[in-house]
Amino acid sequence: MAPEKIRILVIDDDRDLTETVRGVLEAQDYEVLTAADGERGLELAYTERPHLVLLDLMMPGMDGYRVCRELQFGYTKDIPVVILTAKADLPDMMEASRCGATGFVTKPFRVDHLLQTVRNVLRDASVYYDEITGLPTLANVQVEMQRVLADHPQLGIIYVSLDGVYALEHLQGFEVVDEVFRVIGQRLLSARGELLRGDDYVSVSSLGNAFLIVLSPARDQATVDDRDLLAIKRRLEERLLRDLEHELEGRLLMNIDVFVGYARLARSPKVRFRRALLQAIAEATTRIESERSELRDRLRGELDRILTAQQVSCVYQPVVRLRDYVVVGYELLARGPLESDLHSADALFDVARGADRLTELDRLCRQTAARSSATLPAQILRFVNIDPGALFRTLSEVAIDEYIAELPETLRAATVLEITEKSVIDDFDHCRTVIARLRAHGFRVAVDDAGSGYSGLQTIVETEPDYIKLDISLTRNLERSLVKQKMVRTLGAFCRDAGIELIAEGVETREELDALRELEVPYAQGFLFAQPGSPYPLRDRIDPAAAALEEIAGDA
């Protein structure tokens, strides 16, 4: 298989210049994409994921400054941007830098200067900085680390490792894993000056799957105290876990655990620097492995108690029709015991997956949902999450019959089985067979988390769902992003043509709601309407404006 070509996106309204740049770059074996305006350029950046963007500043409509700012969000935020412009004054260059630009080529340009700038930016992005997190690589900071160690007899090493990323990649795909690493990298950088000192070094490991922080001793100390390292470790673990939950809420199908190990890197005339560094990292990872083993044993014991005592319950979140705010259904969400570390569904299923008890837990959750949904009014839809791993890979014919028999026949037509697009479905032939059998007994099907997933449109095509639920990542700040709005509008038109109902998940603000109504999305759910609760909040209508007034009146 031929290696993937480096893709460069040129956004410029000067068509003659664009064609000139295309010819120069294609002669160097780059793949070139072009856009004549900023809006089209953003679409291509989001869908084609170029390795580099060459961007004009002065364009009609959306100018280059705004395009550059838009590129700093979502999957495009790690793409380097080189400004290609005749505006070479210092204020213009400073403004472009504030918008996220990484390089400049002034018009009219020399071909050799353009090519050298492109090579330099691509080289710096791939060799000296990790392309996922934007952090410097270990190779980038080693020389500086050696210099600092020459001034101190000892440095502190903090090693941040993530548990579950390989299973997550198999379950949801590399893009979700990349987003996890982006969040951690950004939070470690923001910790400098707060949890860390401003001159502490943060980098990615040589394998790109862990983070290394190098700490200098305090100014009044010659060495790094173990108590200080332990305090930093605990604060980082708490902060990073909290940030992961907040940033990726609703997107991860399993928990990612953050482990932080620590060690001291000592200066020695007898040991090479690199060997001493590797020894310090090995000491930090040994501490991590010990903690990981203890946590795994404790959580598996907790899972065994939950399954044995059948301590799984349901909470409910309403699905609202946006035309009149009528409640049309509820999503039933599994929960473990309230005070348990396995209270959340993500934690429950993550531990069950690692303990090879996924099918057992999935069965208990289905049975709990069946009992809970029996109390809902007959006309109300019940949205129930199903695990594709348990349903489409492991269930036998007998188990499928058992699945169907768990719900009374009168409730099956009101039950919508949600298949997440985040999961990888390996056998679509078997998937279609199972869905056909379920549909024959009255069940309906929804594709959940659309727009975030690994298998993308194939899940929709193969399952032919009755409902599609927009992922929270598309809903979040929808009113601010033209790219998201275009995607939602396109998916909405597809759903209307195909007879599929579209539901937006994760609606939290009035601005998001107004954008969804403007885009003619018919249904939504989210904290703006109600938090997941138990027992379910039986209301025929949930108008966010009226709810806000009620809350204000209650506070008064």
Q: For residue 551, what pLDDT is reported?
A: 47
For helices 174-191 and 165-172, give the axis angle rounded to 10 degrees: 140
- How many beta carbons lie within 10 A of that of residue 118, not counting itself? 24
What is the per-residue pLDDT across 423-453, written as a single tens digit (0 to 9) for each? Answer: 556 667 777 888 888 889 899 999 887 765 5
Distances (CA, A) of 155 to 226, 277, 453: 11, 10, 42
> Per-residue pLDDT for 168 more than 80?
no
Half-sphere exposure of 412 (CA within 13 A, CB side): 14
Contacts of 111 (CB under 8 A, 6+ apart): 24
In angstroms, the CA 24 to CA 13 distance is 18
Q: Considering the entire predicted model, what is its pTM? A: 0.62
Per-residue model confidence (pLDDT) at position 493: 94
Answer with the residue of higher pLDDT: 139 or 364.
364
201/240: higher pLDDT: 240
Average pLDDT, the chain: 83
Main-chain phi, psi angles of 385, to 5 degrees = -75, 135
Burial class (CB in 10 A: 0-12, 13-18, 19+), 404: middle
Query: What pLDDT score was predicted for residue 82?
Result: 92
Q: In this predicted structure, what is the pLDDT of residue 2?
A: 40
Angle between helices 544-555 and 510-518 (to 10 degrees): 170
Choose from 371-375, 440-444, 536-540 the range with maximum mean pLDDT. Answer: 440-444
Question: Which of 25-34, 151-160, 247-256, 535-544 has maximum average pLDDT?
Answer: 25-34
Tell the burial category of 6 from Cβ atoms under 10 Å away from its Cβ (0-12, 13-18, 19+): middle
Residue ranges of domains in the chain, CATH in brackets: 7-128 (3.40.50.2300), 138-299 (3.30.70.270), 311-555 (3.20.20.450)
- Alpha carbon distance 357, 351 (integer Å): 8
Q: How far is CA 285 from CA 146, 167, 487, in A?
A: 21, 20, 43
The 8-class DSSP code of residue 129 comes to B
